[in-house]
Amino acid sequence: MTVEDLKHLVRTVPDFPSPGILFRDVTTLIGHREGFAASIEHLAQRARAAGAEAIAGMEARGFIFGAAVAAAMGIGFVPVRKPGKLPVPTIGVDYALEYGRDRLEIDPTAVDAGQRIVLVDDLIATGGTALAAAELLRSAGARVSHALFVIDLPDLHGAARLRDAGLTVEALMDFPGH
């Protein structure tokens, strides 16, 4: 399936979570057998080209796409978790949200020093979570230079923020507006 075919599988929900927002619901793509498989292969091709030795995905939909990409490539997956979810000692990073703060954590033994890790997530909006994940993985010794997304919301400038931070950013599709 082409990327344009995949774009038609993403449902748009108006006025969610608040009036004026067009929510891009990727669950309809995930639920489409051929569409999900094609999106994973498109992402895996890009991750291979980036020299990925492992894939990292942020909770929660980054786990769906990232783990599937890692499996398709035959490499490991590093889950970037919300706080308090891992049963072992972790390292973490706090980061700013639009209204408040949040935290991401990883098991530092899941990353080898110098390992090339590619970030994979379903959607890039403002870029805060992806920037924090890259910082966290780098603090564990990984080399993180690429971030891959299914959807980019370019009007929110997240991809530009990641590029300004030295990351190569690719998305399978974009949706103007927010």
Q: Does residue 61 carry a catalytic annotation? A: yes
CA distances from 11 to 23, 32, 83, 88 (A): 8, 12, 30, 38
> Nearest to residue 166, comparing CAs of 115, 140, 130, 139?
130
> Nearest to residue 69, comparing CAs of 56, 51, 80, 50?
56
Q: In what order do the strands lie in the sheet with 116-124?
A: 76-80, 54-58, 116-124, 143-152, 168-174
Q: Does residue 98 carry a catalytic annotation? A: yes
Q: What is the token pair recorded at 164?
A: 């300004």
Q: Find the catalytic residue in 4, 33, 98, 101.
A: 98
If you compute the radius of gyration of the chain from its CA atoms, what whole number of angstroms results?
A: 16
Q: Find the catalytic residue in 41, 48, 53, 61.
A: 61
Residues identified as active-site: 61, 98
